[in-house]
Structure 1
Amino acid sequence: MTEGTSTPAGWYPAPHAGNELRYWNGVDWTEHAAPAAPGSEQTPTSIGYPGAYPAAATSAVVRPLRGIAGATRILILVSAATSFLTVLVEAWGLNAIDGFSRGTAPLSALELYDTLSSFVALASAASLLAAGICWVVWQYRAAVRVRAANPMSTRRTPVWHVVSWFIPVIAFWFPFQNMKDLIVASRADVRATLLGWWWGLWIASTTFVTVSSRMSIAADSLPGYSAAMNVSLFAELLTIASAPLAVMVLTRTTNALEPAPR
């Protein structure tokens, strides 16, 4: 907030542009919140709350978050379910390869594994893509919302909140920083450990998926395929572990930015 402000203590519109009032103690914002009065025409600029910016800075279209957040949550859980199916298929495939090597399983078992793994891989890729699209839409809207209240609340523009996910190398760090900015600006109940574990598991899972794919392409023997499948299985377990953490980060940030009607 702006230092040296003479704004008296009182209830003012929340700095994150949510539909609530938050108490300013004359020095800083407190955690005390209350719903905004229905039909109130007060705005941050009209009452001059601490840290307010000119009206031009709040002209961006602020779109709802709860709908897209709900869709993203569902798709994250669907993606985790497909990862669980992948784990089952990979475990079964490893057993089939071992049986074939020992002469106790027919070649048809390996052919069935190929069919099942192709189907599950397609379902997994589709669900992950859908979840990713919804996530970046949600993050873009969240970034627009916090910057509408305070243009200096994030180090990057809403567009960069989307683009940074798709740029090699940058995608390993910028999205994490962007999410941290949103959490800090919204005062969401997301601790650094939660954010760090989610991001660490996500980066690890995507890294092992890439390694598994390259190992599978380069494999020219059953032991080579088995090694690639083991790495793939581990990657899917990491994806499953990251899913509930992603849902928590998404939900808590959404609740802070757009409190539910009371």
Structure 2
Amino acid sequence: MLCSRCGTHAAATGDGLCDGCAAAARRRAEPLAAPAVPGRRWLPALRSPVGLGRAVVALLGLVIVSDLAAIAASLNVRRVVNGFTGGGSAAYAIDEADQADLWMAIASGFGAVAVLATAVVFLVWFSRVRANAGVFAPDLMTRNSGWAIGGWFVPLANLWIPRSVAADVWKASRQDPYRGNEGLVSLWWAGFLATWFFDRAAERQYDKADSGSEIGTAADFLAISCLVDIGAAVLAILFVHKLTQMQHAKALRGPEPVAV
């Protein structure tokens, strides 16, 4: 008797099917599953962000220290300005003003070095978490991986592209990429924009100040901008720590078995 399905080969089973048709029927009836060992498929493509994340957090802490030093220098400038208006020895006041300028220059230099070092390590970390996100959920990536670094250097567009990349990375790094919110991403980005605008406005005001009252006001504004910067640095620490933790946990858990 011929196979009831193909009609070519001899039937070999009780269902009237040949060996080939019976094997095909079994394959269709038993769906394939993902690898038995979770995570093994991801490991060659992923690179741990943990070390870089810790380095970014440490450098952000250094930025906070530099901001505190700048606040102290600004308050010292205010004290000297108040001394000018309150009278006293002119020679002593000039010496105090020179000393205040020196401390302000030292604090500014320290802050510039801290920010530059933080920016470099942050970009390396940001590029790595973006690459990992492309492994976790490539369908959620709205921009290619080059924008993780390049997006920061495009005038005007750098006001929203990095935040967009960060939101995609955040979604992909969640255990469920399609559920949740990006509230911490938005807070981090708002803090970054706030400190960016405040720092530049304060520096311009301080550079243009001529009279004692203008210098005092500019010093006050510098202190306020440093407080804003501290708040932004704290939000950045939370963002970096949380995203690093999310990616590390997801990599250890491995991909969910998906039936085909």
Decide which structure has greater strand share: 1
Q: Which residue of 1 aligns with 2:41?
A: 43
Give 5+ residue unaligned stretches, structure 2: 1-29, 254-260
User: Letter of the aligned partner of 1:229 in structure 2?
Assistant: A
State how far apart, in whole Å, the 2-side matches of 1:175 and 1:159 are: 11
Distance in 2 (CA, whole Å) between partners of 1:252 and 1:8 is: 37
Alpha-carbon separation, structure 1, partners of 2:70 and 2:165: 31
Match of 1:248 in 2: 238
Equivalent-residue separation in structure 2 for 1:130 and 1:172 (angstroms): 21
Cα 1:93–1:191, aligned 2, differ >3 Å: closer, same or farther? farther
- State which of 66, 79, 92 in structure 1 corresponds to 2:50: 66
Question: Which among 144, 155, 158 is matched to residue 168 of structure 1?
Answer: 155
**Partner in structure 2 of residue 205 of structure 1:** 195
1:143 to 125, 130, 135: 130
Deviation at 1:118, TM superposition (A): 0.5
| Further displaced range: 167-176 or 137-146 | 167-176
CA RMSD of aligned residues (A): 2.9
Q: 1:141, 1:158 within 8 Å by CA — same for their partners in 2?
A: no
8 A Cα contact 1:209 1:231, kept in partner: no
Find the aligned partners of 1:101 and 1:166 in 2 and give their Cα distance: 45
Unpaired segments ≥5 residues, structure 1: 1-6, 14-19, 22-35, 37-41, 45-57
Normalised to the residue count of structure 1, the TM-score between the two structures is: 0.74
Determine helix, strand or coil for the equivalent of 2:138. Answer: coil
Q: What secondary structure does 2:140 align onto?
A: coil
Residue 113 of structure 1: CA displacement?
0.8
On the 8 A contact 2:151/2:157 being kept in 1, the answer is yes
Residue 187 (1) aligns with residue 174 (2): yes
Contact 1:143 1:157 (C-alpha < 8 Å) held by counterparts: no
**What does residue 131 of structure 1 align with?**
118
- How has the CA–CA distance of structure 1 residues 230 and 249 changed in structure 2, closer, same or farther, with 3 Å as cutoff? same
Q: Secondary structure at the match of 1:158?
A: coil
Secondary structure, counterpart of 1:119 in structure 2:
helix
In structure 2, C-alpha distance between the alignment counterparts of 1:243 and 1:115, rounded to whole Å: 26
SS at match of 1:228: helix
**1:91 corresponds to which residue?**
75
Relative contact order higher in (CA < 8 Å, ≥ 6 apart): 2
Aligned to 2:27: none
Report the counterpart of residue 247 of structure 2 in structure 1: 257
Q: Matches of 2:207 and 2:217 in 1, distance apart? A: 12
Question: For the Cα contact (< 8 Å) 1:186–1:257, is it kept in 2?
Answer: yes
Structure 1 residues 211 and 9: alpha-carbon distance in aligned structure 2, compared to 1, 3 A threshold = farther
Judge which range, 187-196 or 204-213, deviates more: 187-196
Provide the residue aligned with 1:81 in structure 2: 65
Q: Deviations over 1:41-95 (max 9, x none)?
A: x427xxxxxxxxxxxxx98x53321111111110000111110111111012111
Q: Which residue of 2 aligns with 1:16?
A: none
* Higher Cα radius of gyration: 2
Structure 1's consecutive aligned runs of 4 or more residues displaced over 6 angstroms after TM superposition are: 7-13
Hey, what does 2:219 align to over in structure 1? 229
Whether the aligned pair in 2 keeps the contact of 1:188 and 1:252 (CA below 8 Å) is no
Mapped pair 1:108 → 2:108: no
The 2-side partners of 1:224 and 1:232 are apart by 12
